[in-house]
Amino acid sequence: MSFDTTDLIILLAMVSALVWLFLPHTRNSTLWQATVTPLASIIGSGFLVVAPLVYLIMGKLAPFAMLGIVLLAYGIGGIIRYNIRNLEPLLQQSGKMDHFTLYNERVSSFALSLAYVVSIAFYLRLLSSFLLHQTGHGGGVFLEKGLTTFVLLSIGLVGVRFGLRVLEHLEKYSVTIKLAIIFALLIGLALFDLRSIPFESLSNPAAMEHGWWERLRMLAGLLLVVQGFETSRYLGEEYDRDTRNRTMRLAQVLSGAIYVAFVILALPLLAHMQNPEPDETAIIELAGMVSPLLPYMLIVAAVMSQFSAAVADTVGCGGLLSEETKGKLTAGRSYLLITGLAIVLVWVANVFEIISIASRAFALYYLLQGINAWMTVGKCEKGGTCAVQRLRFGVLILALAFVVIFGISAE
């Protein structure tokens, strides 16, 4: 394999990012440690496929569509942040909450727990399938399920033995490597774009096959690709409310910038895409046009994405179960329960079919959290502030209702 200037720049970009992210002041920062879990979940299994998907839906308008999705997700994150600040303290005080809000909270927690378990099984089954396929050791469904079971059992045992901190370290290293590769990918795409000027036509015939109503439904489904920020809500055993709010916001801003930049920079490359139903291999194959290094780097990023997203959801679900049982089931023990349920799911169900249930469960969770935030406003705000907050939450509730009812799952 011969190296040119582009290859060297890409390699230097990845190494530089790795060095910076592994520096002690970054690695040991509480702010960064609390950011890793939501960031790992947001930039999860959907990252590599999101650009081809948005391009196929919207053609050259894909960057605007991606920006809209990111902004809507940030608004929904605002609901979760509001509930961390205002709803959590009320839930911890008996007699402070009305029955409707308590019921909503229980239903939303059940929906999220279901979605987490399915997603964890899905992420790691996808990881096993992808890894075995890329290494040329495809051994069929049994081998994929066996490898998935091994990874799940390892996560559960590490979690119950060492707790959140060690799982966060696993996440941190996975996310660090993944972010370094993503940074190198963005640099490589920028160099490719500079070489491609003037651009070929960015119009996409496949996008024109869908009417605007169907496109809107598809974009609603894509909201769940940038899901994952809610994991901050359930890290209360380790981080205070202010830290969780700040780090959720940081994770959303950072991941949002990465998603939008990725879609913008990938447009000239996506014009060469042939497959009308892309998966993670689509962008990996196209990346070979940028540099022969990138496909190998993106294979590593894909594996890290699945693993870190699964660990992030395990951590989030563990915190959720601990909160719902009022500490009777510790987060550490819940990790083993969660991974055990995921193992059962891997062997007895078609995870790839029921992931659509998890997608709608996530959307339902956000909807119910929005209703609870709307209900809580009257207890925490007065006058004009109350009216503005209720209007903001009301608009987001309507958007989430649209996603629940009409959204087409993108994962």
Conformation bin of residue 138: beta by default, left when phi > 0, alpha when psi is -120 to 50: beta
Residue range 146-168: average pLDDT?
A: 82
pLDDT tens column, 110-128: 888 988 898 888 888 888 8
Residue 300 confidence class, pLDDT cut points 50, 70, 90: confident
**What distance in Å separates the CA atoms of residue 159 and residue 80, rounded to the nearest whole number?**
25
Residue 208 confidence class, pLDDT cut points 50, 70, 90: low
pLDDT value, residue 75: 95
**What distance in Å separates the CA atoms of residue 48 and residue 185, rounded to the nearest whole number?**
11
Residue showing tokens 């994929």? 144
Residue range 135-142: average pLDDT?
A: 70
Residue range 201-220: average pLDDT?
A: 72
Residue 266 confidence class, pLDDT cut points 50, 70, 90: very high
Of the two residues 181 and 303, the one the predictor is more confident about is: 181
**What distance in Å separates the CA atoms of residue 147 and residue 280, rounded to the nearest whole number?**
20
Note whether 77 and 252 are within 8 A (CB).
yes
Q: Where are the alpha helices (DSSP H) in 135-163?
A: 140-162
**What would the DSSP string read from start to end of 231-291?**
GGGG-TTTS-HHHHHHHHHHHHHHHHHHHHHHHHHHHHHHTT---SS--HHHHHHHHTTT-
Of the two residues 360 and 14, the one the predictor is more confident about is: 14
Residue 402: is its pLDDT beyond 90?
yes
Q: Which residues contact 287 (CB under 8 A, 6 or more apart)?
A: 185, 188, 269, 294, 295, 298
The mean predicted confidence, pLDDT, of the chain is: 84
What is Dmax (Cα atoms) for the chain?
Answer: 70
Residue range 383-404: average pLDDT?
A: 89
pLDDT value, residue 212: 84
pLDDT tens column, 43-66: 876 788 888 889 888 888 999 999
Residue 275 confidence class, pLDDT cut points 50, 70, 90: low
Residue 200: is its pLDDT beyond 70?
no
Domain 5-406: CATH architecture, name and number where available: Up-down Bundle (1.20)
If we measure between CA atoms, which residue out of 38, 362, 32 comes closest to residue 231? Answer: 38
**What distance in Å separates the CA atoms of residue 330 and residue 335, rounded to the nearest whole number?**
9
If we measure between CA atoms, which residue out of 333, 266, 260 comes closest to residue 63? Answer: 260
pLDDT tens column, 75-114: 999 999 999 998 888 887 755 677 888 888 889 988 889 8
Amino acid occupying residue 60: K
pLDDT value, residue 395: 95
**What distance in Å separates the CA atoms of residue 43 and residue 181, rounded to the nearest whole number?**
12
Question: In three state form, how does the secondary structure of 28-54 look?
Answer: CCHHHHHHHHHHHHHCCCCHHHHHHHH
Note whether 90 and 11 are within 8 A (CB).
no
Residue range 387-405: average pLDDT?
A: 92
Q: Where are the domains of the chain?
A: 5-406
Residue 138 confidence class, pLDDT cut points 50, 70, 90: low
pLDDT tens column, 316-342: 888 888 877 877 787 778 888 999 999
Residue 16 confidence class, pLDDT cut points 50, 70, 90: very high
Give the rounded percent of residues in the chain with a pLDDT score beyond 70.
Answer: 88
The sign one gets for the Cα dihedral 170, 296, 201, 407 is negative
User: Which of 20-34, 76-90, 131-145 shows the lowest per-residue confidence on average (mean pLDDT)?
Assistant: 131-145
Neighbours of 272 (CB within 10 A): 10
Residue 9 confidence class, pLDDT cut points 50, 70, 90: very high
Residue 387 confidence class, pLDDT cut points 50, 70, 90: confident
If we measure between CA atoms, which residue out of 243, 207, 180, 214 comes closest to residue 37? Answer: 243
pLDDT winner (highest mean) among 153-162, 252-261, 282-291: 252-261
If we measure between CA atoms, which residue out of 179, 175, 170, 254 comes closest to residue 16? Answer: 179
Residue 297: is its pLDDT beyond 80?
yes
Q: 277 to each of 16, 56, 60, 320, how far by Cα in Å?
A: 35, 9, 18, 35
If we measure between CA atoms, which residue out of 248, 294, 222 comes closest to residue 53? Answer: 222
Residue range 144-152: average pLDDT?
A: 91
Amino acid occupying residue 144: E
Secondary structure tally for the chain: helices H, strands E: 16, 0
If we measure between CA atoms, which residue out of 224, 232, 222, 225 comes closest to residue 82? Answer: 232
